Structure 1
C-alpha cells in the first residue's frame, strides 16, 4: 500500500505547479480584466450604459488629472534617485567595507521598510510641520529664527519621506548581490592598480547593475502607487497625485467608479511600462558572480574614510528612524500636542484608549490574522511558481513569469479597485477573505522574486543529481531545494508579514465596518481623533513590527534578510 502511494508522488509536480499557476492567473487576470471593462463602460444618468473611450478622452486629459499625473512623475522620480543614493551607499558600506559598527547598524537600516510610509509621513508632520513641528521649534530657538525653516507639506516633503522609507527596498536588492559577488573580480582590479573608487565604479557597480535597476524600478513603482504619504502631506494643500485622485473618485458624494477605473488604468500603464523595461533591459544584463569555488567576500579598507561612512549611516538612521520614532513616542505620551514636548503633561491614557476602543482593539487582531495567514499562503504559492518558472519544463513558463510580475505594475489602490469590482457581489465581500485576496494578489511578486533570486544562484545540477539518484520530486524539493531556498523563504515570509501588517491602500478601499486593520485604524484616528491618540495607535503598529523583526532575526539570523 505504501509503495503504491509513493508511486503517485512524481505526479505531485504537475498537479502542484500547474494548480499554483492557474490560481495566480485567476487572482491576477480577473481584477485586471474587470478594471479594464469598467474603464470602458460609460454610465450616464437616464441613459443605457455603453462602451466608449470617453472616460479617457474627456476625463483623464482634464487639467486637474494632468496635474496629478505630473505630480506623480515628479515625486516618484525624486524618491527613486534619493532612495538609490541612500540604499546603494548603505549596502556597499555594510557588505564590502570595514565601516565601524556595520553589523549593529544593519538591522536598524531596515527598520523604515517595516514601518508604514503613511505613519512615517505622520511622524514627519510632527517634526517639520509649520508652527507645530518639533524640528522647526528647535531650529527657531537655536538660530533665533522668526519663521519656520522646514515644511513637509509640499512635493519636496513627499519626496523626502518616500525616499527615506523606500531606501531599504534598494538596500535589500543591492546588498544580496554584493554579498554573493566573487571577490576575485575586485581583487584583480586592485592588483592591476585601480583605486578603491575606480574598482567600485568599473567593477562592483556594473556587476550589481541588475540589482540596482531592479530596486530602482520597484522604488519608482512603489512611489507612484503610494497613497498614504501624498494623502498625509499633499492632499491638505491640494497637491494631488494619481492615487489620491483615484481614492477621491471612490469616496464621498461624487463617486465615479468608471472614471476611477480609467485613471487607474493609466497609472497601471505607466508602471507596467517600467516592468517591461525591467524584463527587456535589466534581466538580460544579469551576470554570473557565484561559482563552485568557496570564498568569503573581502572587505575594502577605507582608512580614515570609514568614519565618513559611519557618519553617513548614522545620519540616515537619525532621519529615517530615530527622529520619526522619537516624535511619535513623545506625542503619544502627551496629554495634548502643541508643537513642543512638555514633561509635566505626560500620560499613558492614550494607549489605554487604543486598547479599549473597539475599533482599534479589533484592528490589532485582524491585522495579525491577515499577516500570518497571508504571508504563509503567499510564500507557498511563490515557491511553486518560482520553481515552475526556473526549474520546470512546461511551455507556459515564460507566460507565468510575466503573469506573476504583473501585480508589481499595479499600485495597491489600483488593484484594490479591480478586486472590489470583481468580488463586490460575491460572498467574499464584507469579509476578511477579500482583504486576504487583495494582499496576496498584490504582493505575490515580492515572494516569488525572493525565491527566484536564490534559485537563479543555485545550479540545476543539484536537483538533477537528486532525481538521477532515484529521489522523487517531493523528496528532492524537501531535502535539497527547500533547505537551499531557506534564506529566500525566511526573508520573503518576513517581508510579506511586515507588508501585510502595515498595508494601507488596499485595506482602506476594501475594508468594511468590523474589518478594520491597524493602518485603517491609524487613518480613522487621523480623521476623527487628536494627534496624541493618533500617535498612540501608530506606535502600537510600530511596536508590533519591531517586535516581529527582532523575533525573526533571532530565529533566522541576521543574513537571512538579504537576498
Structure 2
C-alpha cells in the first residue's frame, strides 16, 4: 500500500518547485561560454580567428596611423602626401604609367588567356598538350627571371630578336623592351597562363546548349561568340581581369627591371626608391603605399559593380552535358601553328635564352664565337658562393613554413565559415580575403611600420619574412581550403560524432584526409609563389637573410647578368624538383592526384 500511495499519473501535479539546472550550465551563460572556449575546438578556432584578424588588420592600421602622423608625432597631418605627390615628384606621370601598365597587362593577359582557353576546350585544334605545358612553365619561372629573359631577347642593342631577325632583314632594331609597351608585353605574357587556367575552368563548367541553339537558328560563329559565349563568360572574365589588374598593379619585378632603365616609374618602383634614399622618408613612402592600395581597392569595387547582374548568366545546372568540339576545318593547321608559336614565344625562347646566357662569360647576341666560348664557369661560381646556399636554405624554410602554416590555418578558418553558424563568420571570411588587395610592396612597408615600433625583436629576421608570406598568401590558401571543404557533405562529420569521435579526431581523421587534394594543391602553390616572392621581401630582408629572389635582384643591380642567369636556371630546377617531390609524397600518402583541379 505504501508503494501504491506514491504512484502518480501523468496528470498529477508535482508538489514543490521544479528543479532547475544550475546557472553555470545555462547555454548562454558566461561560464558556459568559457567552458566551450577552453576546449581544444574552442582554442583552435579562437586562435585562428585572432591570427587572421592580426595578419589582415594590424599592419594596415599601423601604416595608416603612421602616414597621417605629423613628423614631430604631435597629431594628424597630411604633410606626407604633399611630399609624396607634390613638388617635382611627377606624380601625374607615375599614376598614368601605373594605370596604363596594369590595365594594359590585364587586358592583354585576359584576351590571350580567353582565346587560348576557348581553342583548347571548344575546338578540335591539334597540339592541345602544349597548352598546359605553356601554362605551367611561366607559373614556375619567377617574374624577375622572366623579365630578365626578355631583356636578353628584346634589348635594343644586344637583344636576340633585334640582332638575329630585324637587323639582318630590315637593317633596323625596332624592339625596345625598356618601355611601357615592353612592360605590358612581358607582364601580360607572364600572367596569360593564369587567365588561361581560370577561363578553361569556366568554359568546361558552362552548358554549351545555348550556343548550339543559336547556331541551329542560323547565327554565324562570330555572332554566337559575340552574343552568347562572351556574355555567359562575363562573370569569369571580370574575376580574371580583377586578379590580373591587381597582380600587375603590385608587380615590382617587371617595372623595376624594364621601366627604370628608361626612367619610367610606377607606384612600386617609386616606393622602393623613396625607401632607398637617405634619410628615409617613411611618411612619403606610406602615402604612396596608401595611394596604391586605394587604386587596388577601387578595382575590387569596380569588379563588384560590374558583377551586379551575375545571376542573370548562371548556366551551370545539375544536368550533365558534354561540349561538342567546333570543327575548325581549313583553319585547323593555322590554329595548330599558332599554338606552336605561342609555346615557342612564352616557354621555349625565354627559357632557352636564359640557359644560353648562363653559359657565357658576358652576354652577347648568339654568334659562332659566342657558342665557342660557352662554359660552366657561372655555375661553378654559384656553387662556390656561400651566400647562394644561405639564400637557398632561407627560401626553402620560408616556402615550406608559409605553405604549412597558411594551409593549416585556412583549413580551420574554412571549417568555421562553412560548417558553423557562429556570428561574424562572414566577417572572418572577408578578413581572410582582405590581403588579396594589398600589394606586396605595401604589405612589406606596413610590416616595417609595425615592427620598427613594436618592442618585438623580429625585424631583420626570417620571422618577419614568414609573417609577410603568410599574410600575402592567406587568401589563396583560403580559396583552396574553402573549395575542398565545400565539396564534402556534413553527414560525414555527423557520423563520426555519433560514433563518439571528438571534434579534433573528426577534423584530423575525416575532414583533412578528404580535403587532402585541395590542401596539397594549395600547399604546392604557396610553396612555388613563396620562392618567387620579391616585392615584399625586398623591403624586409637584412644581410645574411637573403632569399633567392633577392639574390637575383642584387645580381641584376650589380650588372652580373650571366651569373644571374645561372642562378635563375638553378632556381627553376629546384622548384621543379620540389613540386615533383611534393606530388610524389602526396601520392605515397594517399592524397588525390588531381589536386590542382580542386
TM-score normalised according to structure 2 size: 0.84
The reply on whether 1:213 has 2:238 as its aligned counterpart is yes
CA RMSD of aligned residues (A): 2.9
Give the Å deviation of 1:345: 0.3
Give the Å deviation of 1:86: 1.2
In our comparison, the structure showing a higher alpha carbon Rg is 2
What is the alpha-carbon distance in structure 2 between the residues aligned to residue 501 and residue 530 of structure 1? 21
Distance 1:326 1:234, change over 3 A: same
What is the alpha-carbon distance in structure 2 between the residues aligned to residue 382 and residue 549 of structure 1? 21
The match for 2:255 is 230
The match for 2:113 is 87
What is the alpha-carbon distance in structure 2 between the residues aligned to residue 557 and residue 340 of structure 1? 45
Give the Å deviation of 1:362: 1.1
The match for 1:4 is none
Give the Å deviation of 1:502: 0.8
The match for 2:134 is 108
Quick check: 2:101–2:180 contact (8 Å CA) kept in 1? yes
Aligned length: 550
What is the alpha-carbon distance in structure 1 between the residues aligned to residue 315 and residue 494 of structure 2? 26
Deviations 1:438-493 (A, max 9, x none): 0110111122123334556x4x7x21475278366556656765566444333322
Quick check: 1:172–1:561 contact (8 Å CA) kept in 2? no
Quick check: 1:9–1:474 contact (8 Å CA) kept in 2? no
What SS does the corresponding residue of 1:535 show, helix, strand or coil?
helix
What is the alpha-carbon distance in structure 1 between the residues aligned to residue 204 and residue 508 of structure 2? 26
The match for 2:437 is 409
Q: Where does 1:17-28 land on structure 2 (aligned, <5 Å)? A: 17-28=45-56
Distance 1:484 1:561, change over 3 A: same
Q: Where does 1:510-525 land on structure 2 (aligned, <5 Å)? A: 510-525=540-555
Distance 1:183 1:135, change over 3 A: same
What is the alpha-carbon distance in structure 2 between the residues aligned to residue 302 and residue 34 of structure 1? 57
Give the Å deviation of 1:26: 0.2
Distance 1:277 1:14, change over 3 A: farther
The reply on whether 1:463 has 2:484 as its aligned counterpart is no
Quick check: 2:444–2:539 contact (8 Å CA) kept in 1? yes
Give the Å deviation of 1:236: 2.0
Quick check: 2:69–2:77 contact (8 Å CA) kept in 1? yes
What is the alpha-carbon distance in structure 2 between the residues aligned to residue 206 and residue 179 of structure 1? 15
Say which is worse superposed, 75-84 or 530-539, in terms of deviation.
530-539
Quick check: 2:296–2:437 contact (8 Å CA) kept in 1? yes
What is the alpha-carbon distance in structure 2 between the residues aligned to residue 466 and residue 205 of structure 1? 41
Q: Where does 1:104-143 land on structure 2 (aligned, <5 Å)? A: 104-143=130-169
Q: Where does 1:26-175 land on structure 2 (aligned, <5 Å)? A: 26-43=54-71, 49-62=74-87, 63-145=89-171, 147-175=172-200
What is the alpha-carbon distance in structure 1 between the residues aligned to residue 40 and residue 208 of structure 2? 41
Quick check: 1:230–1:240 contact (8 Å CA) kept in 2? yes
Higher relative contact order (CA 8 A, sep 6+): 1
The match for 1:307 is 333
The match for 1:246 is 271
Distance 1:289 1:548, change over 3 A: farther
The match for 2:417 is 389
Distance 1:437 1:181, change over 3 A: same
Quick check: 1:17–1:385 contact (8 Å CA) kept in 2? yes
Quick check: 1:94–1:103 contact (8 Å CA) kept in 2? no
Give the Å deviation of 1:551: 4.9
What SS does the corresponding residue of 2:418 show, helix, strand or coil?
helix
Distance 1:194 1:139, change over 3 A: same
Give the Å deviation of 1:221: 0.7
What is the alpha-carbon distance in structure 2 between the residues aligned to residue 17 and residue 279 of structure 1? 30
Give the Å deviation of 1:206: 3.3
Say which is worse superposed, 253-262 or 97-106, in terms of deviation.
97-106
What SS does the corresponding residue of 1:335 show, helix, strand or coil?
coil
What is the alpha-carbon distance in structure 1 between the residues aligned to residue 218 and residue 415 of structure 2? 43
Deviations 1:414-449 (A, max 9, x none): 000011121234222222111111011011112212
Match of 2:357 among 318, 328, 331: 331
What is the alpha-carbon distance in structure 2 between the residues aligned to residue 489 and residue 289 of structure 1? 28
Runs of 5+ unmatched residues, structure 2: 1-35
Say which is worse superposed, 447-456 or 133-142, in terms of deviation.
447-456
Distance 1:463 1:247, change over 3 A: same
The reply on whether 1:561 has 2:588 as its aligned counterpart is no
What is the alpha-carbon distance in structure 1 between the residues aligned to residue 124 and residue 447 of structure 2? 48
What is the alpha-carbon distance in structure 2 between the residues aligned to residue 267 and residue 380 of structure 1? 31
Quick check: 2:206–2:316 contact (8 Å CA) kept in 1? yes
What SS does the corresponding residue of 2:295 show, helix, strand or coil?
helix
Say which is worse superposed, 148-157 or 381-390, in terms of deviation.
381-390
What is the alpha-carbon distance in structure 1 between the residues aligned to residue 560 and residue 571 of structure 2? 17
Give the Å deviation of 1:370: 1.0
Give the Å deviation of 1:323: 1.1
Distance 1:451 1:187, change over 3 A: farther
Say which is worse superposed, 163-172 or 287-296, in terms of deviation.
287-296
Distance 1:247 1:58, change over 3 A: closer
Give the Å deviation of 1:114: 2.1
The match for 1:488 is 518
Q: Where does 1:153-552 land on structure 2 (aligned, <5 Å)? A: 153-184=178-209, 186-187=211-212, 189-190=214-215, 196-282=221-307, 285=310, 290-292=316-318, 296=322, 298-341=324-367, 342-424=370-452, 425-453=455-483, 458=487, 462-464=489-491, 466-467=493-494, 470=498, 477=507, 482=512, 485-551=515-581
Say which is worse superposed, 462-471 or 168-177, in terms of deviation.
462-471
